[in-house]
């Protein structure tokens, strides 16, 4: 059985299939030649056409995803006078479209989420180099490795325990859990970028990621955008939501989801290995061979505990990304990793670039005016419906609009005030209940795409879940999560 961890993706040597290029080009051509919907400016419609072709490219992958994102951002920047900026912007005295366009194009690299994800990859590198990740994985396998399903519950419960005290789903799932669970599949000879990935790797990584999305909605303190949502609700609707109100509303749908998740994944995305009675004994033997913890493992353990402490209790003093970078710096100082190790970590830098570019593209939807038009359009078409139905419709719109965003924070910032404003304009809508239903949507919508949250990227790029599989699973579990909220959560909120 192999002890290797995530390997680098294989180098592509074949030209992309023609249809993978033709379909995105057809998407942009069709949208661009159609007249914009009423109330939408022409430049906004052109931006939406480019955004749509980027999404199509991310799904079909005619080129690596970072290349698709780079081409999309560059195209918008070059054509900014016709895509990003309207007549009112261009008419401003001294307005320099070229200068503003490049500022916009590079703005994603200023996102703290981008660098938090990058730091998570460096954490994983430290786990690999010291052997701590393998040791932790072997301990889990020794205790629960007799069944793949029990491993799924182990990682789900691990996230649930950490969630109330870690107000960053990226720090929790990508920074703390991912470096551990990515060490599990190789123990079962399940390798990345290989058919054997389905033996157990795909199952255990998807279960771990999906669990973090549920816990982000279950606990108010489990996801930073939750606090942002509460602040918008307080300022716009003058509604206060307490921790008790949040948990009372989330528990009836989120706890059943958590308990059912490992079984659901087991059914929808079954692992190739169901039982392996000999593996726990093997893991015990491997742990014996490793001996006691080394000094480097102990140092890394202390540094990880520092990161968790800062993530849990340091939010008022230091940003989660800053905390991660502090620990990465300490890893360099103590020799846990070297700069050469970091420089050679292609997966980390690829992920940083991809997420930054997608954050930029998502920001362009708001900057160009598409988000505002979209919200007004929805409000005009749902008037006169019963309050519960209107809440279901607006929550669904808010949920599915996350396909247009590469960050939960960006989505909350751009969309929530607008959707709240839409709700205020609907006569008879109970605003306190409407606001609570919207706030509980934040975590669960992170499951729908590879770019929906910073926590998704390490799992997406791990090599254990292919791009089509990730999109398919995101759609299936997104619908399951939303159905639980709408069919269980919202009716109870409305009581």
| pLDDT tens per residue, range 244-302 | 899 999 999 999 999 999 999 999 999 999 887 767 887 888 889 999 999 999 999 99
Angle between helices 467-484 and 243-268 in degrees, nearest 10:
130
Mean pLDDT estimate for the chain: 87
Percent of the chain with pLDDT over 70: 95
Please answer whether residues 54 and 69 qualify as being in contact, where contact means their C-beta atoms are separated by less than 8 angstroms.
yes
Q: What is the predicted pLDDT for the residue at 314?
A: 76
Per the domain annotation, does 9 fall within a domain? no
Whether residue 128 sits in one domain with residue 83: no
Q: Is residue 450 part of a domain?
A: yes
Lowest mean pLDDT among 33-47, 351-365, 376-390: 376-390
Side-chain-side CA neighbours of residue 222 (13 Å): 28
Give the model's pLDDT for residue 382: 66
Is residue 193 a contact partner of residue 416, using CB atoms and an 8 Å limit?
A: no
| Distance separating alpha carbons of residues 247 and 12, to the nearest angstrom | 47
Dihedral angle computed from the Cα positions of residues 446, 452, 456 and 458, in that order, rounded to the nearest 10 degrees:
-170
Flag whether 472 is in a domain: yes
Percent of the chain predicted with pLDDT > 90: 44
* 355 and 340 within one domain: no
Boundary residue ending a domain (332, 348, 364): 348
pLDDT at 383 exceeding the cut of 80 = no
- Whether residue 144 is contained in a domain is answered as yes
Q: What is the mean pLDDT of residues 92-111?
A: 92
103 shares its domain with 117:
no
pLDDT at 58: 79
How many angstroms separate the CA atoms of 55 and 36, rounded? 19
Smallest Cα–Cα separation from 476: which of 121, 287, 210? 210
Query: Which of 348, 380, 408 corresponds to the end of one domain?
Result: 348
- Same domain for 286 and 157? yes
Domain count, the chain: 3
pLDDT tens digits along 173-200: 888 889 888 888 888 889 999 999 999 9
What are residue 147's DSSP bridge partners?
Answer: 275
Asked whether 265 and 206 are in contact (CB, 8 A), the reply is yes
Rounded to whole angstroms, how far apart are CA atoms 380 and 366? 19
pLDDT (0 to 100) of residue 258 = 96
Top pLDDT among 33 and 321 is at 33
Per-residue pLDDT at 14 exceeds 90: no
- Are 432 and 485 members of one domain? yes
CB 128 within 8 A of CB 341: no
Q: Which two tokens stand for residue 8?
A: 């680098």
Read off the pLDDT of residues 68-79 as tens digits, 9 standing for 90 and up.
Answer: 999 999 999 999
Domain boundary among 74, 107, 140: 107
pLDDT of residue 8 exceeding 50, the answer is no
The DSSP call for residue 337 is S
How would residue 46 be classed by pLDDT, with cut points 50, 70 and 90? very high
- Domain span at residue 171 reads 112-348
Residue 429 Rama label (left phi>0; alpha psi -120 to 50; beta): beta
Does the pLDDT at position 237 exceed 90? no
Provide the 10 A C-beta neighbour count for residue 363.
Answer: 20
Please tell me the distance from the alpha carbon of residue 208 to that of residue 204, in angstroms, as a whole number: 6
On whether both 143 and 292 belong to a single domain, the answer is yes
Which alpha helices (H) appear in 131-223, and where do they start and end? 132-144, 148-162, 169, 178-181, 201-218
Q: What is the pLDDT of residue 5?
A: 39
Q: For position 141, what pLDDT does the model report?
A: 79
End-to-end CA distance of the chain: 55
Are 362 and 282 members of one domain?
Answer: no
Q: Which of these ranges, 32-36, 45-49, 265-269, 373-377, has the smallest mean pLDDT? A: 373-377
For residues 336 and 230, state if they share a domain. Answer: yes
- Eight-class DSSP state of 147: B
Residue 10 in domain: no
Report residue 376 as tokens.
């007004």
Q: Which of 459, 367, 458, 359 has its CA nearest to residue 111? A: 359
Q: Are residues 363 and 473 in the same domain?
A: yes
């Amino acid at each position: 059985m192999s002890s290797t961890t995530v390997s680098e993706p294989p180098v592509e040597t074949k030209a992309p299939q023609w249809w993978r290029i033709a379909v995105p080009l057809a998407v942009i051509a069709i949208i661009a030649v159609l007249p914009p919907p009423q109330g939408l400016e022409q430049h906004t419609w052109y931006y939406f056409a480019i955004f749509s072709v980027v999404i199509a490219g991310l799904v079909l992958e005619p080129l690596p995803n970072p290349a698709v994102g780079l081409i999309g951002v560059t195209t918008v920047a070059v054509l900014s006078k016709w895509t990003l900026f309207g007549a009112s912007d261009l008419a401003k005295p001294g307005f320099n479209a070229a200068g503003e366009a490049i500022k916009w194009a590079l703005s994603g690299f200023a996102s703290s989420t981008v660098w938090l994800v990058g730091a998570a990859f460096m954490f994983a590198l430290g786990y690999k180099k010291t052997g701590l990740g393998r040791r932790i994985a072997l301990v889990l396998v020794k205790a629960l490795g007799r069944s793949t399903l029990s491993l799924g519950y182990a990682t789900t419960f691990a996230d649930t325990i950490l969630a109330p005290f870690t107000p960053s789903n990226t720090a929790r799932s990508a920074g703390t859990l991912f470096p551990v669970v990515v060490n599990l599949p190789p123990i079962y000879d399940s390798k990345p970028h290989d058919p054997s990935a389905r033996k157990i790797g795909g199952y255990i990584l998807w279960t771990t990621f999906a669990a973090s999305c549920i816990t982000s909605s279950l606990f108010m303190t489990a996801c930073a955008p939750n606090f942002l949502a509460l602040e918008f609700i307080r300022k716009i609707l003058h509604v206060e939501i307490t921790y008790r109100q949040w948990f009372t509303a989330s528990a009836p749908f989120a706890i059943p989801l958590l308990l059912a998740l490992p079984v659901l994944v087991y059914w929808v995305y079954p692992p190739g290995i169901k039982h392996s009675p000999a593996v726990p004994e093997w893991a015990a033997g491997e742990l014996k061979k490793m001996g006691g913890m080394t000094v480097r493992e102990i140092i890394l353990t202390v540094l990880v505990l520092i990161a968790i402490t800062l993530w849990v209790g340091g939010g008022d003093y230091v940003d989660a990304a800053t905390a991660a970078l502090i620990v990465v710096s300490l890893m360099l100082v103590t020799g846990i990793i070297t700069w050469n190790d970091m420089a050679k970590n292609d997966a980390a830098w690829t992920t940083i670039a991809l997420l930054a570019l997608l954050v930029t593209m998502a920001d362009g939807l708001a900057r160009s005016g598409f988000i505002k038009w979209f919200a007004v359009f929805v409000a005009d078409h749902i008037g006169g419906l019963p309050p519960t139905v209107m809440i279901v419709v607006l929550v669904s719109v808010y949920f599915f609009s996350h396909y247009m965003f590469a960050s939960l924070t960006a989505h909350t910032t751009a969309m929530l005030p607008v959707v709240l404003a839409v709700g205020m304009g609907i006569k008879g809508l109970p605003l306190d209940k409407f606001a609570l239903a919207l706030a509980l949507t934040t975590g669960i919508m992170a499951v729908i795409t590879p770019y929906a949250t910073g926590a998704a990227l390490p799992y997406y790029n791990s090599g254990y879940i292919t791009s089509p599989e990730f999109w398919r699973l995101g759609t299936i579990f997104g619908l399951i999560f939303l159905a639980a909220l709408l069919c269980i959560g919202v009716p109870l909120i409305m009581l």
